[in-house]
A and B are shown apart, each in its own frame.
Chain A
């Protein structure tokens, strides 16, 4: 086969001598090619698998640390002089006083007890930088929740700043010369002392899952983005599913076979392959500037993603409606059902598992989509958890994009951790889709 240009003379010399050395060599060469070809194929598959393992392994390796955070336990004296006395003050006055007090002074007192040798403004300030800026709010909330703390001394676990956290996690190379690293020698020696006292611990960090975004890596959380994603997907589902289902029913069951239907069909197939960013441009031009909807809001994001997933939903629903055998329709027609009743009472219930599967897969795609949302302003830095579909919000993939752009080293692991959260939701959704398909799919 490979040697098509066999010399003419050779062909005419009677039966081929397969045992001859030349033929044996040729067969060996052909089999060698066969083996090379097959291993190329295997190699392609192996490369894809290895890449996936590398990608996921890398993200899990980085991201695992995103769920834990270093804290330092120090003995805080809640002095009544500084904070006011809850027994003599009215509750409102006490709250007011606590709110106005700079909690840094509490931390400073405690830290200076631990490190009496640290003097001077500059060193003190560096010393206080061990503790996260979020520690103040943490202390304040503690006091407001339990005024009985006043006058006592209690060992409190406070978050450390992201730099200290990175040292503990081994992400800052402390063997570098001092000038080349963010954490200086004196900070490291204090940290060593704290570690020797067993005051440093690495704990599960629930704020990452329950908090909103922050400029400080140790305070940043994904909950705001999760809620934003949930609102956005809700809008997407509520628009894309009914419209997509109706369109699929029409095209599969009622549409006459004519040019116009052809155009709609070609159009849907092409729409499925339009780059997602173009849908973002459409959202920007139509929803924001023509209709004047609010920027950054999940309703706009949801509608944009609905347009994006509409073709997916239509194509999946059509396939699953077409899979219902005609005998079902004929039987229902024979018993006197109207065409509409045939579809809504018999075909759709039978096609539903497939439709749901297609819709969930479309929703999963929408959940991972970020480019069109950048166009409609869902990239803003938003600390508050959105409360409705009209509030400014961001979504998980965009949050990942924003954190990936942040310069702090600590955001690398936060980004990876956020990717793990996103992948968890995607795997869950696809798992449900596969489960639905296997449980309810009918073979006709």
Chain B
């Protein structure tokens, strides 16, 4: 008996009840299916749903909650000498029990652990069988109900469609659940972090060094969680990126919408789309291995000291990455300006450049600003380029030639590799994530508002 078998049994039960109920509905009217309210297959579909849905619910309940319940039961059954330890050690004991379950006596000689492992596997087996029998019973009940309700006037289609529309609504609601999940998990973990580190230290502290001592007697720093240097680094790199992407993206959009002929557009637009489709890890590799050494050599040639992991390299390449973002959104904004404005300006004798700078751009300004805001939010949240090309050392500087670190780099650094889940070091990553989420959310909301309001103005 495995989880997979249970799932197969549920699926087979649903299929069988589909076939049987469908047949029954045909048999009731003696083959004259036009006398049925619903087509025979709808009777079958609804029966299948009645079997499948509750069984799946039970099954998922077991999959999600089963192991936790069993673990708690096993821990509760341990002798007091083993049990009365701190929370961390309980999870260690559970790990050893799991190992013992998988590898038997080879993994441990502790009799308590072995006994617990035995208990664990027997409970797990019982749980499997209980789930199996329960789903079987529920499935049969579902089949019995639909079978006994099948008659010529039974509105099987309406009931089935109602179920489907509930499923459709639930799917769209899931998007909200995801957002709530993000917010809840970030806030929950951040609150735990702020219990250990005061929130004002996090928001206004100038020193970031998340290394905390593992043992009380260790000679190590106590850890400092001032996030200002990280946000300064993020801000520096995003500014550099926008200095590249802003003008280039905007001018590219102007050229492509106002000047370029068909052939140039046919070449340039796909190129921009390809730039947008290149994975960020590729940009990161390029920034770290090609652009950064180039900048360092160029700096050396003119006698300027450029760090090998400079903010400049990361910012430049990130700027190129968001060019297509700025240009396609600005493109939309510029094309949406009614041509009557443009024609009026031409009729007054303005040159093309004058029309663009003095008529088109002011009219498209909200859309362009929205594009820039979205691009900034993109730059702030970008991870791989900065992880690979910017540095790790927190550095409060405005000099783009030095190495800086960013919020996303620190999140990655804090959460990759082995980690304990409760230390402030790990939890601080969630606080950084929350800050990142809030900032980008504000930027996005502002940008979407702006774009939408402006669209309404010309519709």
Chain A residues in the interface with B (C-beta under 8 A): 1-2, 30-31, 33-34, 36-38, 40-45, 47-49, 51-52, 55, 58-59, 242-244, 246-251, 254-255, 263-264, 266-271, 273-282, 284-286, 289, 291-292, 307, 310-311, 314, 338-340, 364-365, 367-371, 374-375, 377, 379, 397-398, 400-401, 404-405, 412, 415-416, 419, 422-423, 426, 430
Q: Which residue of B lies closest to A49 (CB)?
A: B271
Chain B residues in the interface with A (C-beta under 8 A): 64, 67-68, 157-158, 161, 164-165, 167-176, 178-179, 181-182, 185-186, 188-189, 247-252, 254-256, 258-260, 264, 267-268, 271-272, 274-275, 277-286, 288-290, 320, 323-324, 327, 345, 348-354, 356-358, 374, 377-378, 380-384, 387-388, 408, 411-412, 415-416, 421, 429-430, 433, 436-437, 440-441, 444-445, 448
Q: Report if A419-B282 is in contact (Cβ < 8 Å); known contacts: A271-B178, A307-B178.
A: yes
Contacts of A52 in B (CB 8 A): 271, 274-275
Instruction: Please report the C-alpha to C-alpha distance between residue A220 and residue B430 in the assembled complex, in whole angstroms.
Output: 35
Partner of A51, one of B67, B275, B350: B275
Q: Helix, strand, loop or mixed for chain A's interface?
A: helix
Instruction: Please report the C-alpha to C-alpha distance between residue A377 and residue B416 in the assembled complex, in whole angstroms.
Output: 7
* Min CB–CB distance B185 → chain A (angstroms): 4
Q: Which residue of B lies closest to A434 (CB)?
A: B270
Q: Tell me how many residue pairs across A and B have CB atoms closer than 8 Å.
A: 265
Partner of B172, one of A250, A374, A377: A250
Partner of A267, one of B158, B169, B176, B277: B176
A-B CB contact pairs (8 Å), 15 listed = A34-B352, A45-B268, A47-B248, A48-B248, A59-B282, A269-B448, A270-B445, A273-B378, A284-B415, A289-B421, A364-B277, A368-B280, A370-B281, A401-B384, A419-B282
On whether the beta carbons of B176 and A263 are closer than 8 Å, the reply is yes
Contacts of A264 in B (CB 8 A): 172-173, 175-176
Q: Report if A273-B374 is in contact (Cβ < 8 Å); known contacts: A250-B168, A284-B415, A422-B279.
A: yes
Instruction: Please report the C-alpha to C-alpha distance between residue A269 and residue B327 in the assembled complex, in whole angstroms.
Output: 20
Contacts of A254 in B (CB 8 A): 165, 168-169
Contacts of A2 in B (CB 8 A): 354
Q: Report if A274-B182 is in contact (Cβ < 8 Å); known contacts: A40-B251, A338-B161.
A: yes
Instruction: Please report the C-alpha to C-alpha distance between residue A430 and residue B68 in the assembled complex, in whole angstroms.
Output: 43
* Min CB–CB distance B173 → chain A (angstroms): 7
Contacts of B158 in A (CB 8 A): 338
On whether the beta carbons of A247 and B172 are closer than 8 Å, the reply is yes
Instruction: Please report the C-alpha to C-alpha distance between residue A147 and residue B205 in the assembled complex, in whole angstroms.
Output: 70
On whether the beta carbons of B353 and A37 are closer than 8 Å, the reply is yes
Instruction: Please report the C-alpha to C-alpha distance between residue A412 and residue B344 in the assembled complex, in whole angstroms.
Output: 57
Instruction: Please report the C-alpha to C-alpha distance between residue A243 and residue B158 in the assembled complex, in whole angstroms.
Output: 22
Partner of A374, one of B170, B282, B412: B412
Instruction: Please report the C-alpha to C-alpha distance between residue A216 and residue B173 in the assembled complex, in whole angstroms.
Output: 48
Contacts of B377 in A (CB 8 A): 273, 275
**Residue from A275, A292, A397 with most neighbouring chain B CB atoms (10 Å):** A275
* Min CB–CB distance B180 → chain A (angstroms): 9
On whether the beta carbons of B279 and A282 are closer than 8 Å, the reply is no
